Amino acid sequence: MRVVVTGGAGFVGSHLCEILLGRGDDVVCVDNLSTGRAENIAALCDQRGFTFLRADVSYGFDVPGPVDAVAHLASPASPADYHKLPLQTLAVNSRGTEHALVLARRHQARFVLASTSEVYGDPRVHPQPEEYWGHVNSVGPRSVYDEAKRYAEAVTTAYARHLGVSTGIVRIFNTYGPRLRPRDGRVVSSFIRQALAGEALTIYGDGLQTRSFCFVDDLVRGIVAMLDCREPGPVNLGNPDERTIAELAELVLRITGSPSPVQRLPLPTDDPVRRCPVITRALERLAWKPETDLEEGLRATVSWFRSRGAEPVPAAGRAR
Residues with a catalytic annotation lie at 145
Burial 290-302 (b: 16+ CB within 10 A, else e): bebebeebbebbb
Residue 134 Ramachandran class (φ > 0 left, ψ -120 to 50 alpha, else beta): left
CA distance 44 to 46: 6
CB of 13 closer than 8 Å to CB of 29: yes
Residues 222, 215: Cα–Cα separation, whole Å = 11
C-alpha dihedral (15, 228, 232, 99), degrees to nearest 10: 60
C-alpha 102/C-alpha 97 separation (Å) is: 9
Cα distances (Å, whole numbers) of residue 201 to 34, 73, 93: 27, 30, 32
> Are 115 and 171 a contacting pair, CB within 8 Å?
yes
Q: How far is CA 22 from the centre of its chain?
A: 20
Residue 116 phi/psi, 5-degree rounding, is: -150, 155
Give the list of residues 6+ apart from residue 293 with CB closer than 8 angstroms, or none.
Answer: none
How many angstroms from the chain centroid is the CA of residue 311? 26
DSSP state of 109: -
**Hey, what's the torsion of the CAs at 266, 272, 276, 279, to 10 degrees?**
-150
C-alpha 226/C-alpha 51 separation (Å) is 22
